[in-house]
Structures are given as C-alpha cells and as structure tokens.
C-alpha cells in the first residue's frame, strides 16, 4: 500500500523525477541520506532510487525500462575508488541516470579533502547537471563527507525510524540552500511543499527482491576486497614504523577471508620500545608521582610518544 504525505500529494520519487526530466531547464539532483548505523539508509535510499527510475521511465514516455536508468551496476558500496570509477564512466552520460553511492565515507571522506579522488568527484558534481542525473550518497553524519560536496547537495534525507515488521521507514527530507550567517558559510534546510503545505515526513518501503539479492552479493564481495586492501595498508604502515622482516613475516596480508591471521606478538625488542623503556619504568616506579601522573597517557605525553608504545613496556 502506498503511503502519501496527505491526500493528493505526489510521491517523493515523482517530485525528483519531474525535476530532472523537466524539458524547460537543466536540473540534476544530488541527495544525501544520513542516519545512524542500522537506521535503514541503504534500504530506503535503494528503494527511492528504484522508484525514481520508474517515474523517470513513465514521465519520459518512450517505453524505456526503469532498469535503463537504475540497476545494480549504478551502485557502489564499501570501495575506495568505486564512486570515481562509476561517475567517470560512460554511465554518467546517459541522461536521467540514477546512481547510489553507499557507505560514502569510504569513498569521499572529509579527511581526504585534498586527495585527487575527492577533487575529481567534486568536479564531476559540478558538471553532471548537463546530463540531468540523480546521485544519492549515504553516510552516517554530514561531516563525514567532503565539505565541498556537502555544499553542492540539493537535498538531504534524515532517517527517523524504521518498522522492520511492517517493512517501512520514516525520514525527513529537506531542500538545501547555501548562504551565510554572521559572515560564515551556513546551510539552510527547508521542507518541501505541495500546494502551500509543508511535508515534514516521508514513508518508504523496501526495494525489489531481485535488487536486494544482487546488492547483498556485491556488498559482501566489496567488503572482502576492502578488508584485504586494509591489511596491506596496515603492513605498509608497520614497515615504516621499523618492524624487522621477521616480525613482518608474522603478519599475513594475503590470507583468505575467514582464516585466522597470525599476529606479531613480541614487541619487547622493538626499537621504539627499547628507546623509551628505561624512562617509562623510572616514571612508573617514582613514589613521588601520583597515580594519574604515572598513567600511560601522561607518560606518553611527557616522553613525546604514544600510549600504544608506552603500554608495550613491561
């Protein structure tokens, strides 16, 4: 059963589809979905993308299947380069295409704002209006995504709650305007209106079973690949920290997912430990110092190192 905001109000998918198919203007739609883990961001945004594609197909009136505008190949999840690979491919040049970037913090992180990936993605956002496409990006908090990308978002969905038994979720949806407040950049959120009435909440169901099955398979594969790549990065970091070849050999980076990974367990002879161990022991055994002054945190701060290395001194 379709749930509407009030009698006569169209669906949100129809509103977005009408925006990007309007022949009188070149308008795209960049939508961000935010909410805590498990709040139904992925399920809800996937269902919205499918609904938007169906409405685009209907409004265009050319007998095109909805899958032409949105399918599993238009989705990226848990991958560092996926968003860039997708949006720089020929798929972007298909007018009115719909794209879903899930777990966007792994692809478009605010901590990597100066990276070539972020810069290229931000540039793509500025030109995708030509092809009047829809881009939906999911992340837990708005601060997790690159600040420049945040400033180009047209809409934001904020998840409120879900009913797993009845298979629906409720969210707020805002139109975003960028301005200034006290001479600082400021974002203004405005509810959508229909015939003068504000729509303060929206209800959405689940995507198709075919899509959900394909998505789960893709997400699992991408997660496995992401973990393998993360292991390799950890090994590279440890190499830079000065571990010996023998210690590094204990850290597996190519073990299949699911198998126990051997860990380096003896750091007592690590150069960083040997450098600080005498001073750490002296501070710990100094009766004139309080318990707080002898804590690993205070010792690390005093010696200009980290609590991790202090904790390895026995």
For helices 41-60 and 209-240, give the axis angle rounded to 10 degrees: 130
What secondary structure does DSSP assign to 253-290, as a single string?
A: SSPPTTSPPP-----TT-HHHHHHHHHHHHHHT-TTS-
Domain ranges of the chain: 12-207, 271-311
Fold of 12-207: Rossmann fold (3.40.50)
Confidence (pLDDT) at 116: 58
Residue 23 has pLDDT above 50, yes or no: yes
Q: Which residues of 201-234 are buried (b: 16+ CB within 10 A; e: fewer)?
A: ebbbebbeeebeebbeebbeebeeebeeeebeee
Confidence (pLDDT) at 254: 44
Confidence (pLDDT) at 192: 93
> Residues 47, 204: contact at Cβ < 8 Å?
yes
Confidence (pLDDT) at 260: 44
The per-residue pLDDT for range 136-187, each reduced to its tens digit, is 988 876 554 545 556 678 899 999 999 999 999 999 999 998 777 877 777 7
- For range 127-140, the mean pLDDT: 84
Confidence (pLDDT) at 2: 45
């Amino acid at each position: 059963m379709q749930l509407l905001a009030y009698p006569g109000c169209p669906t949100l998918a129809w509103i977005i589809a009408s925006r990007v198919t309007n022949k009188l203007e070149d308008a795209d739609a960049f939508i961000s979905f935010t909410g805590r883990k498990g709040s139904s961001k992925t399920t809800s945004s996937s269902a919205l993308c499918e609904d938007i594609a169906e409405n685009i197909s209907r409004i265009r009136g050319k007998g095109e299947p909805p899958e032409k505008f949105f399918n599993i190949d238009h989705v990226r999840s848990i991958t560092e380069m996926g968003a860039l690979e997708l949006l720089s491919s020929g798929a972007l040049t298909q007018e009115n295409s719909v794209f879903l970037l899930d777990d966007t913090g792994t692809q478009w992180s605010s901590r990597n704002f100066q990276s070539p990936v972020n810069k290229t993605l931000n540039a793509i956002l500025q030109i995708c209006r030509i092809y009047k496409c829809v881009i939906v990006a999911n992340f837990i908090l708005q601060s997790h995504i690159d600040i420049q990308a945040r400033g180009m978002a047209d809409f934001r969905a904020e998840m409120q709650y879900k009913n797993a038994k009845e298979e629906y979720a409720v969210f707020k949806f805002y139109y975003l305007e960028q301005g200034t407040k006290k001479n600082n950049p400021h974002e203004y959120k405005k509810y959508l209106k229909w015939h003068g009435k504000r729509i303060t909440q929206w209800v959405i169901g689940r995507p198709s079973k075919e899509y959900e099955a394909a998505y789960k398979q893709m997400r699992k594969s991408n997660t496995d690949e992401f973990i393998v790549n993360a292991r390799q990065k950890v090994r590279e970091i440890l190499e830079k920290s000065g571990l010996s070849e023998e210690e590094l050999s204990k850290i597996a980076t190519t073990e299949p997912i699911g198998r126990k990974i051997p860990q380096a367990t003896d750091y007592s002879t690590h150069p960083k430990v040997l450098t600080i161990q005498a001073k750490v022991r002296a501070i710990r055994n100094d009766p004139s110092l309080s318990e707080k002054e002898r804590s690993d945190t205070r010792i690390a701060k005093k010696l200009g190192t980290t609590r991790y290395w202090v904790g390895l001194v026995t």
